[in-house]
Structure 1
Amino acid sequence: MDVKERVSLPNYTKDNYPKTTRSAVLNKVFDIEMKDTPLPAMKPTDVLIKVMAVGICGSDVHYYDTGHIGDFVVKKPLILGHESSGIVVATGDEVTTVKRGDRVAIEPGVPCGHCNYCREGKYNLCPNMKFMATPPVDGDLSELIVYPQDFVFPIPDEMPYEIAALNEPFSVGVHVCQKLDVKPGTTAFISGMGAVGLLAILAFRQFGVDRIIVSDSEDLRLETAKKMGADEIIDIRKTDSLEEIMSLTNNEGVDYVMDASGNPAAEREGLRALKRGGKIAYVGVPTTDKIPLDIPFMTDHETQIFGIFRYANTYALGVKILAKHLDVLENLLTNYYSLDETRDALEETRTDKGGSLKVMIYPNEKLRS
């Protein structure tokens, strides 16, 4: 469902736009309400964006059905949503990177820009980060948002808004490849074929990985992984993933592992799937506080372990890569809702892991399609 042909530009300026916007607000667990929420005054370097597509993330669902993720707790009404794209409808006087009418992907985290982490280019680690839909920061399941120009990125005319919204989960895989310094002609194993894992297939391939093995327990996800370019798929309901990986690699193991499952057993097995000198990236967050790891194996194999937190400096590159793979990316889009149907969209994502992949919400579309 591509909405790009049906977009109208409202007649707004930096000094003349609504003081409120319609938003889907999480009042408390399982309680989503449509509200008029305030829009802030635009700074000279801000843009006003008409939000066109927002993907539902697992974190949105977690806040919706439990009210917290770790130390982040929903203590007051919160606007969800952080995987998004839209169209610029007004700009501040000092905006130079985009103009009215530009279609953009929206990077959802705004760092302080002044701390040591920001100065070193590691702004994903900024302790003052304002990340959409992470309490107490509101997300963008709204018709309009005001946002800094530095974190909006123009997208090609041929790129649907839905695909541009995928740049957020895709950026995780790009960041993994950059942190692991992925080299061409190598092998990789990715566990967990949610959106992040599926998009990581594309990222690893783009960085030159020759052979990609993946695992999951859902038929739709495994089928989609093949469409995304996985060379071998492992159904963990039927096959021991570690044994299968060793069989596929002549008992040598793989160069890189990315765990996107957050499953404690998978996180332990992923480590042992590495060849000597291999690298593993932990992306999925387990439900338990501590996971025992095999230290003797790690020292004997000189394993390199990376914890991954979001991403940094990936968005422009992500847009360029996604633009080359529009057809294959359509495989991830399975369900479509209007803003009024946000609760239904969250319930779909929460309860139908076997039948849905990426659920999209259209804040400025009135009818479901």
Structure 2
Amino acid sequence: MNTIESIPASMRVSELLGTDSLTVTDRPVPSPRADEVLVRVTSVGVCGSDTHYFTHGRIGPFVVEQPLVLGHEASGVIVAVGSDVDAERIGSRVSIEPQRPCRVCEQCKKGAYNLCPQMQFFATPPIDGAFAEYVTIQSDFAHDVPDSVSAHAAALMEPLAVGVWACQKAQVTIGTRVLVAGAGPIGVITAQVARAMGASEVIVTDVSEERLAFAAKHGATRTLVGGEPIDEVSVDAFIDASGAAPAVRAGIPAVAPGGRVVLVGLGADELTLPVNLLQNRELWLTGVFRYANTWPTAIELVASGRVNLDLLVTHTFGLDEVEGALMAGRLPGALKAVVEPWR
């Protein structure tokens, strides 16, 4: 292992012990494998999946059965590298793409590594995440960020990667009309990405007028209070970032023939859909599962100023305050909480 600073033997981490149970404890600092780097974590965004694991102990087939470190939206500084990694990388500020695919299966070889059946993803049981002082990641998944990008924004490249992937799936380009359901962090990010990709109209729906007001300032060309049929709207693409069944059912009829429906939000395991409408209009319907090859685009969108991630951060917490971070979504005006492990 190559390093230019003294690395401690142990580090502090926040462990999820079980439903509604967290503790801060010491663990050995991981040593990077030959192809990995050791990152001193500076910022970690809180995702809805982190909160779901905390309150429910599982998401679908992924069940917390042993102490788990949550957090997968992370940034930091490389402080050591494995034997196969150029030592010049030490000191680099990076955004972490929090996954390790096998790289040899059929999905990986065709570029869809997000669908790798052997994927090891941060904070998805039993793989630990980034609510810790240090993490390791394969070198090519530690993406350099320019000095103009803040530590918080570098961490939030992860949800931005979701927005980029969703807009790519929706084939957003110059002149596209887009409907986005949900004005939470992913919805606002997706609206910004759609505008950056050339969408001429970006309509955002939500049940919260406060969040709609925020979206109107940051990406949306128009906002609508959601939950009811959108009779007067006709779009080329509908991206659901809410996971709410009523929002999905209301959004699909707004899609013009040949248009695209992209499901991003996590909601019910099963959903009733208007099959006749999907067939008669020949609509394309797809889901989004993480992302692949999106970080370069995400970094460029932020570095160029076309997407602003810093404006999403409303609350920050230390490693001893992770429970508060996980529950921050209940606070008035909350949008995105960030944990700073060294705070």
Specify the TM-score bucket, using the shorter chain as the normaliser: over 0.9
The equivalent of 1:348 in structure 2 is 328
* CA 1:321–1:328: 2 relative to 1, 3 Å: closer
Q: How does 1:1-369 map to 2 (within 5 A)?
A: 13=3, 17-96=7-86, 99-236=89-226, 240-243=228-231, 246=232, 249=233, 253-287=234-268, 289-325=269-305, 328-349=308-329, 351-352=330-331, 354-365=332-343
Q: Is the 8 A contact 1:224 1:332 kept in 2?
A: no
CA distance in 2, matches of 1:223, 1:82: 28
1:86 match: secondary structure: strand
How far the C-alpha of 1:327 sits from its partner, in A, is 8.2
| Mapped contact 1:163–1:326 kept (Cα < 8 A) | no
Conservation of the 8 A alpha-carbon contact between 2:302 and 2:308? no
> How far apart are the structure 2 equivalents of 1:44 and 1:38?
18
Name the aligned partner's letter for residue 214 of structure 2. T
Please report the TM-score for the alignment, with normalisation by the length of structure 1.
Answer: 0.88
Contact kept? 1:227, 1:328, Cα under 8 Å: no
Give the percent of matched residue pairs that are identical in Structure 1 and Structure 2.
38
Measure, in 1, the Cα distance between the counterparts of 2:83 and 2:4. 8
**8 Å contact from structure 2 (residues 4, 90) kept in 1:** no
Q: CA RMSD in A?
A: 1.8
Question: Is the partner of 1:242 in helix, strand or coil?
Answer: coil
Change (3 A) 1:340 1:98: farther
Which residue identity does 1:360 align to in structure 2? V
CA contact 1:14–1:92 (8 Å) conserved in 2: no
C-alpha distance in 2 between matches for 1:326 and 1:308: 23
1:336-369 CA-partner distances (Å, limit 9, x unpaired): 11111111111222x23x520010110111xxxx
Structure 2 alignment gaps of length 5 or more: none
Runs of 4+, deviation exceeding 6 Å: none
CA separation in 1, counterparts of 2:158 and 2:230? Answer: 30
Equivalents in 2 of 1:358, 1:278: separation in Å?
31
Amino acid paired to 2:275 = I
* Cα deviation, residue 185, structure 1: 0.7
Where does structure 1 lack aligned partners over 5 or more consecutive residues? 1-11
Residue 324 (structure 1) shift: 2.0
| Structure-1 separation of matches of 2:341 and 2:88 | 22
* Conserved? CA contact 1:98–1:154, under 8 Å: no
Aligned-partner Cα distance in 2 for 1:309–1:232: 27
How many residues align? The count is 342
Deviation at 1:300, TM superposition (A): 1.0
Q: Which moved more, 1:166-175 or 1:180-189?
A: 180-189
Amino acid paired to 1:118: C
